[in-house]
Amino acid sequence: MNEASLTPDPAPSCPQRILCVLGMHRSGTSCLTGSLQEAGLSLGECHTWNPHNLKGNRENQQIVDINDAVLAAADCAWDNPPGSDLRWPEAQRREVLELFAGYADQSPFGFKDPRTLLVLEGWRELLPHMQFVGIFRHPVAVAQSLHNRSGMPHEQGLALWYQYNRRLLRFYRQQTFPLLCFDESEGLFREKLRAVLSQLGFASSAWQGDFYDGELKSSPASDEITLPWQYRRLYRKLRRLAE
């Protein structure tokens, strides 16, 4: 898929093509980002190891810090989402432009940080030519993974899942982009991921699938917890879009 003619011109002094991975924490964003890197996406400086994901969450710490600062300026955080779109402080706007100027010679360049879903409008204003790919996972699996990682109560994890993925669906309706479900079986997920790589213009033959590790999916989707109807409906809508 060649979308170059369908997107605005890039901002001055930044990569000609930028791809942002969108998705909730513990939803397969690291797997997707690492797979894109395998297929040729440049990530710049990123984490290649952490105790909760031995292959690394593939996040650029400067981007994480920018998103945290934008949220903190509104008395919010990754686990305390804002109720509406945020106004970005000028300092963080400058940081983005300076950071991406440093990656101007790396194209296609990409990044992921689940917090981006909470502050996305600012990113779109600063980098209007940016493209997107998204991924999601069953709410119970996400809540269980958050509980396993940091002891977060299941109810809080489920509520966060809803806040993040409601934004993911809203943005998808504004600007469609490839969307994957991390709950698929390994074989089907690999098949769909390969198709998405081709759709995004990457050489899927260069992707060997080394980043995917089924053992990292330590919290399989389950319906053991009774979910509010809004959560079930949102998940069903996302599943239909990812078919």
| CA geometry: angle 193, 196, 198, nearest 5 deg | 115
Helix (H, G, I), strand (E, B) or coil at 7: coil
Residues of the chain with pLDDT under 50: 1-6, 49-54
**Residue 109: predicted pLDDT:** 96
Q: How far apart are alpha carbons 21 and 36 in whole angstroms?
A: 10
CA-nearest of 120, 223, 232 to 168 is 120
Q: At what angle do helices 154-174 and 229-241 cross, to 10 degrees?
A: 40
Tokens 């600012």 label which residue? Answer: 122
**Residue 5: predicted pLDDT:** 35
Contacts of 7 (CB under 8 A, 6+ apart): 128, 129, 130, 131
CA-nearest of 153, 111, 148 to 26 is 148
227: phi then psi, degrees, rounded to nearest 5: -95, 145
Domains of the chain: 4-241 (3.40.50.300)
- Condensed to tens digits (0 to 9), the pLDDT of residues 59-110 reads 999 999 999 999 999 999 999 999 988 999 999 999 999 999 999 999 999 9
Helix (H, G, I), strand (E, B) or coil at 162: helix
Beta bridge partners of 22: 134
**Residue 23: predicted pLDDT:** 98
- 109 contacts 60 by C-beta, under 8 angstroms: no
**Residue 119: predicted pLDDT:** 97
Which pTM value belongs to this model?
A: 0.88
Alpha helices in the chain (DSSP H): 29-38, 61-73, 90-101, 120-126, 139-150, 154-174, 186-199, 229-241
Strand order in the sheet with 131-136: 109-112, 18-22, 131-136, 179-181
Phi-psi region of 151 (alpha: psi -120 to 50; beta: other; left: phi over 0): left
CA-nearest of 129, 66, 113, 118 to 92 is 66
**Residue 226: predicted pLDDT:** 79
Q: How far apart are alpha carbons 185 and 111 in whole angstroms?
A: 25
**Residue 52: predicted pLDDT:** 46
For the chain, the first-to-last Cα distance in angstroms comes to: 18
